[in-house]
Chain A
Amino acid sequence: MVDVIIIGAGLNGLVAANYMGKAGKKVLVLERRAIAGGQAVRESFGKDFQVDALHAGGQLRPDIVNDLGLELPTSISEPLISILPDGRQLRLTADADEQTLASIRGLSKRDAERWPEFVAFMTQASAFLDAAYRTPMPRLPHITLAEGWPLAQLALKLRRLGSKDMFRVIRAMPMSALELTEEWFESDAVRAAIASVAINGQTLGPMSAGTGYTLMHTWLNRGGPGHRRIEGGTGRIADALAAALKARGGDVRLSADVKNVIVEDQSARGVRLANGEEISAPIVVSAADPRHSLLDLVGAPELPPEFVWATQSIKMRGAVAKVHLLTDGSHGLPKGTLVIAPSIRYAERAYDAAKYGEMSTQPYLEITTAGRVVSLHFQFAPYTLRQGDWEQLRPVLERCAIDTAASAFPQLKATIRETRSLTPLDLEKTYGLTEGDLNHGQLILDQMFFMRPMPGWSNHKTPIDGFYLCGNGGHGGGGISGASGRNAARAVLNDVGKR
């Protein structure tokens, strides 16, 4: 008999499990796949072909690492390098080192002078966002004093920035990345490089309102414009979390496909696996996306119609594809987060295609390398296609991704030995991401804070007693920071304490 069942051994699931294990709960994590890690998984596509399948890097929030006393592999922050049509490289880092400034100066002296202040602003903005993500978002408008206090503290933190910076941060969130960067920089290439961070993983363009917020979000998760690379791959975060969980008496069961949550009179009683096995527990927490968790695992009949409607209305619409290349090792690509988004218009046009259910023909690309492997993050590849399906389009996708990368690095093509692509459909089928949305629900203004995953349910609870959500769809979610898992665990423990 376990106290808590957690569905999904992604980082959020494992983080939540650890927090509850730490609080003395007996936790069982059930993973559908034969490998743990969820989005942060290190996949093997064959001999010498090990890749970080979905995220080229990332980091858990430092407070989580401390709370859980994790021993994580060292991670290094890499620069973002935008490849410009004339072959020039724009190098951006979160610290205003001379190399970065010189690189910006090559495009604009004025922009180079502004960079340190911009980094300071982004650091401040993401620090605020981090605090916001640690603050539970209660149900409005009737907030108890206990719920109101952390909010008041957050508001105070915002005011303590001083009116100038306070408004800077508030204003920036609903802005578009273009509007925001226009106020700072004159070089279109610099604007585009920053905007690429804002639209990474989002189905939005640099001109979409709210990409100011997504810029802060991704900047926070990465700790700067470029990825944070983990020695041995992102998979090792999951390994560390799983080990820590075992040490806390918890367990992770792989190849355990949860078919549905067992609900009796509006309360969770446990789960039923695909193989028919039933495991009972008073508390079930799902790290899967809200739509799958509620409509498939619980099922509409168990839920109020309005709630079902709200769940169906969550905007997922993923538009990310991955193309991994095993090369002979002589690709000669520089280290770092290499970006192909030379201009704002280039990136916006790439997004336009997604609006109409088409794959970008001139995609925004993020290229990362790990030894012989070269990984291409491709946007935009909309889950919902107007014509054809992703099996038909797979070769087109691979060709387009490789050609675009080769336009910047001509030598690459000849070195390719194997190609392995992940379409939005694969993201759904293999990784259980509904509509291939890495964020379990787009990070758009009407799906953030009090409205994430949906209005009135930002507290990780559901209409089913003892059934909670701890995935990326929750407050703090998006990326592989574990923030949502941490918040959900606190919400659960808070309730359990009351019992």
Chain B
Amino acid sequence: MSANQYDAIVIGAGHNGLIGAAYLARAGKKVVVLERREVVGGAAVTEEIFPGYRFTEFSYVVSLLRPEIIRDLELPRHGLKILPLPSTVTPMDNGDYLAAWADHDQTRREIYRHSPRDAEAADEYSRVMARAAKAIKPVISLVPPDPSSMSPRDLMGLLKLGKYAKSLSEKELYRIAKLVTQSSADLLNEWFEFDPLKGTKSASGIIGTFLGPHSPGTAYVLLHHYMGEIDGAFRAWGFAKNGTGGVTAAIASSARALGVEIRTGASVRQVIVKGGRAAGVALENGDELRAKVVMSAADPKRSFLQFVESKHFPDEFTQQIRNFRVRGSSGKVNIALSELPNFTCLPGESPLHRGAISISPSMEYIERAYDEAKYGQYSKNPYIDIIIPSMIDRDMAPPGHHVMSCFVQYAPYDIEGGWDDAKRDAFGETVISTIERYAPNIRRAIVGKQVITPKDIERIAGITGGNIFHGELLLHQLFFLRPAAKWADFRTPLPGYYFGAAGAHPGGGVMGAAGKMAAQEVLKDWR
């Protein structure tokens, strides 16, 4: 076999690409992963942006990564270490705070302090959501069947789906049906009364979408985030040693150990088609690589509108991909700090610094933030999810200093007049001044800051539209409609060309399921 001859080529060394490659290699295939950037990891990269300060540029927490993948690829042996985020604290405008601690009773007392009624409801709510998340898991790991097809495989899939539905109790079934269609505002209003609690919970319903808490469908996104699990424990969010880059580094190391070749600085220009089949890829530098199978882990737009000439796809398919919504809605501000932010609600160094700090005083606060975004402006009072990795992993910043990661919503990709440096700075300033309201010392503690807009996510991570899920988690972009009707089974209209990334079922959030499932479908078809 010549140097550029492989069984399978995987485009993109993000976690999905690496996981897919690893599973193919596990099955004895000769696999190469091609990464456009000089670093491995896609959107899950840890980089030293300022000397001594290391950041996970884009994604920032780990939770959704499937446990079976962690086991199959022996990630702990390859350096995956997940450090728990023990708490979530929501500073309130009246100087008080709402906290959720790792300890259940402590959390219950905390909620009780604000609303006895909600403290009662909270336990039942968690049980219900956990049950719903468990109940919907089989669907997550199911290859979406094509309900319009008569092929045995699809009919089997539909049968499985029917069996699954029958296996649920009436209660579960309706609860899921409601959760999939409802707005998170309606869901939470049925359970709770305390605004900061509702605001903080509703936040998981909007992350990565271009919707507000009052938009139908956001309850599903909330549930999607509920599926996060660490060591099987539901809803425990974690932070990876060395940042999310630590996760992809571990996956890469595991993949290499399985014989996967990873080429960085290898930007794909086009997929080579021979005899109506994908036969390899041509790189920007002119090199050509051959393989029996090509699998793209890039976003749907790049995978189908850029890498492959449209003549190889039916117009109906191309049209669907054009209509696929990838509107980025969030930005990120990474800040290097000389001292910890001093939150007036919990002065000095306090437990809150070890967990997530959520700027989400109420659902209306977030809804109004959305209102601005839908008219093409970034939120003047944005939802911010803050974590301080250096508190959990001291190696992330110089001694005594800290790195702070702020996930910010909303920042529309299509901002009126388009993004430019001035707007980026103004956006960064908005985030700082918002945090300043709760932690007045933040400004003087700043050593350096990096502001990332959806445009930057597109430019740097190569995600079209800068949507962190490669495509919004909208009801009409889920399951057998993700990324396109009839092509939700990780195959594409071009034989030999597969698709395994966040833009495919079951969607993004560093869970890696798409990469794994795609690899399994590739192997099913292998002849």
A residues neighboring B (CB under 8 Å): 139-142, 159, 162-164, 166-167, 170-175, 179, 183, 207-210, 313, 315, 345, 348, 352, 355-356, 444-446, 450-451, 455-456
Contact with A along B141-183 (1 / 0, CB 8 A): 0000011110000000000000001101010011101100110
Complex interface: chain A residues within 8 A of B325 (CB): 179
Q: Out of A140, A315, A345, name the residue touching B186 (CB < 8 Å).
A: A315
Cβ contacts under 8 Å, B476 to chain A: 170-175, 179
Assembly CA distance A23 to B374 (angstroms):
53
Q: Kindly state the separation between the CA atoms of A456 and B171 in the bound complex, as whole angstroms.
A: 9
Q: Give chain B residues whose Cβ lies under 8 Å from the Cβ of A163.
A: 146, 148-149, 485-486
Q: A455 and B481 in contact (CB under 8 A), knowing A141-B165, A174-B476, A179-B325?
A: no
Q: Which stretch from B23-31, B214-222, B442-450 is at the chain A interface?
A: B214-222
- Is there an interface contact between A210 and B216, defined as CB atoms closer than 8 Å? yes
Asked if residues B216 and A446 are in contact (CB atoms below 8 Å), the reply is yes
Residues 93 to 122 of chain B near chain A (Cβ within 8 Å): none
Q: Which residues of A contact B65 (CB under 8 A)?
A: none
Residues of B within 8 A of A210 (CB): 181, 216-217
| Complex CA–CA separation, A348 to B211 (angstroms) | 13
Q: Which residues of the other chain, A, contact B170 by a CB distance below 8 angstroms? A: 139-142, 456
- Say which residue of A209, A356, A450 sits within 8 Å of B215 (CB atoms): A209
A172 to B323, CA, bound (A): 12
B316 CB within 8 Å of chain A:
yes
Contacts of A208 in B (CB 8 A): 214-216
Which residues of chain A are within 8 angstroms of B166 by Cβ–Cβ distance? 141-142
Q: Give the distance in Å from the alpha carbon of A209 to the alpha carbon of B217 in the complex.
A: 7
* Cα-based distance from A167 to B475 in the complex (angstroms): 13
Min CB distance A255 to B, Å, is 38
Q: How far is the CA of A223 from the CA of B177 in the complex (A)?
A: 30
- List of B residues within 8 angstroms of A166 by Cβ: 147-148
Contact of A451 with B177 in the complex, beta carbons under 8 Å? yes
Give the distance in Å from the alpha carbon of A175 to the alpha carbon of B481 in the complex: 12
**Contact, CB under 8 Å: A171 / B182:** no
Q: Please state if A140 and B148 are interface contacts (CB–CB under 8 Å).
A: no
Q: How far is the CA of A272 from the CA of B165 in the complex (A)?
A: 43
CA distance A164 to B371 in the complex (A): 34
Tell whether, in the assembled complex, residue A171 and residue B481 are in contact, meaning their CB atoms are under 8 Å apart: yes
Q: A173-B476, A210-B181 are in contact. List 10 more A-B contacts (CB 8 A).
A: A163-B148, A163-B486, A166-B148, A167-B148, A208-B216, A356-B364, A445-B182, A445-B216, A446-B216, A451-B174
| B148:A174 contact, CB within 8 angstroms | no
Q: Which residue of B lies closest to A174 (CB)?
A: B475
The answer to whether the Cβ of B367 comes within 8 Å of any Cβ in the partner chain is yes
A191 vs chain B, min Cβ distance (A) = 15
Given contact pairs A167-B481, A445-B217, A174 touches B474 in the complex (Cβ within 8 A): yes
CA distance in complex: A345, B374 (Å): 9
Contact with A along B465-509 (1 / 0, CB 8 A): 000000000111000010001100000000000000000000000
Partner of B475, one of A139, A313, A355, A445: A445
- Given the interface contacts A174-B475, A209-B211, does A345 sit within 8 Å of B148 by beta carbon? no
The docked-state distance in angstroms from the alpha carbon of A7 to that of B175 is: 31
Across the interface, do A141 and B474 meet the contact criterion of CB distance under 8 Å? no
What separation, in Å, do the CA atoms of A193 and B474 have in the docked complex? 24
Q: What distance in Å separates the Cβ of B49 from its nearest Cβ neighbour in chain A?
A: 36
Residue of A nearest to B165 (CB): A141
| B323 CB, nearest partner CB in chain A, Å | 5
A14 to B271, CA, bound (A): 65
Give chain B residues whose Cβ lies under 8 Å from the Cβ of A174: 181, 216-217, 474-476
The verdict on B525 contacting chain A, using a C-beta distance below 8 Å, is no
A173: chain B residues within 8 A (beta carbon) = 476
Tell me if B364 and A455 are in contact (CB < 8 A). Answer: no
Contact A209 B374 (CB under 8 A): no
Q: B374–A348 contact, CB under 8 A? A: yes
Asked if B38 CB lies within 8 Å of chain A CBs, one says no
The verdict on B190 contacting chain A, using a C-beta distance below 8 Å, is: yes
Some 19 contacts from A to B, beta carbons below 8 A apart, are A140-B173, A141-B166, A142-B166, A163-B149, A163-B485, A167-B486, A170-B481, A172-B476, A179-B325, A179-B476, A208-B216, A209-B215, A209-B217, A315-B186, A444-B216, A445-B216, A446-B177, A451-B178, A455-B175
**Given the complex of chains A and B, what is the CA–CA distance between A142 and B166 in angstroms?**
7
Check A355 against B217 for contact (C-beta < 8 Å). no
Question: B182 touches which one: A352, A355, A446 (CB < 8 A)?
Answer: A446
